[in-house]
């Protein structure tokens, strides 16, 4: 069973791109302080992720900040170079932290992995969004496989 509202986010390593290159961060570094939105996608550069999920959060950054969100983190089971290239290609602004869960360790720890081997994609993250406050999950919104509804920026904004 996956993580649930009221539970503390587990510690795991993630990678982010910095001006000096790839850097290791922990889930606690990124999600453990303040009010943080984490949204995860099954695949950067895939149709729904690129056309709707990331753009929705990019377009709503100001509204999230106005609602008291301290940080927005986008995560995928992918390498840091792909996450960086996707952010640049999508015009994502630097107010969204692009975090790579290269081996899927954090995703597995959350219990939110997706078996996409039937599509040649291996194991990925389910599509989800969460609000965490000081490292504790307050809202967790997980889409059913193949759907994009509850993890959208607009839906999460309605929960704040």
* Pair 155, 56: CB distance under 8 Å: no
d(CA 81, CA 36): 23
Told to judge if 49 belongs to the known catalytic residues of this protein, a careful annotator would answer: yes
Domains of the chain: 13-139 (3.40.30.10)
Question: In this predicted structure, what is the pLDDT of residue 16?
Answer: 98
Neighbours of 112 (CB within 10 A): 22
Residues 144, 156, 17: CA angle, nearest 5 degrees: 90
Question: In this predicted structure, what is the pLDDT of residue 141?
Answer: 97
d(CA 51, CA 20): 29
Question: In this predicted structure, what is the pLDDT of residue 121?
Answer: 82
Question: In this predicted structure, what is the pLDDT of residue 1?
Answer: 67
Question: In this predicted structure, what is the pLDDT of residue 21?
Answer: 97
- Residues lower than pLDDT 70 in the chain: 1
DSSP annotation of 51 reads: I
Query: Out of 3, 16, 38, 49, which one is annotated catalytic?
Result: 49
d(CA 63, CA 72): 12
**Residues 97-122: tens digit of each pLDDT:** 999 999 999 999 999 999 888 888 88
Question: In this predicted structure, what is the pLDDT of residue 117?
Answer: 86
* Pair 138, 45: CB distance under 8 Å: no
């Amino acid at each position: 069973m996956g993580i649930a509202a009221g539970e503390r986010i587990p510690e795991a390593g993630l990678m982010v791109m910095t001006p000096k290159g790839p850097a290791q961060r922990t889930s606690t570094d990124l999600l453990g302080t303040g009010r943080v939105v984490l949204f995860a996608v099954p695949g950067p550069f895939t149709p729904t992720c690129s056309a709707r999920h990331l753009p929705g959060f990019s377009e709503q950054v100001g509204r999230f900040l106005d609602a008291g969100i301290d940080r927005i983190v986008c995560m995928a089971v992918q390498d840091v170079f792909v996450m960086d290239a996707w952010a640049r290609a999508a015009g994502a602004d630097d107010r969204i932290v692009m975090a790579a869960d290269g081996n899927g360790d954090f995703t597995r720890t959350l219990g939110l992995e997706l078996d996409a081997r039937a599509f040649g994609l291996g194991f990925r993250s389910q599509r989800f969004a969460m609000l965490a406050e000081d490292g504790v999950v307050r809202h967790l919104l997980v889409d059913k496989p193949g759907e994009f509804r509850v993890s959208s920026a607009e839906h999460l904004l309605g929960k704040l």
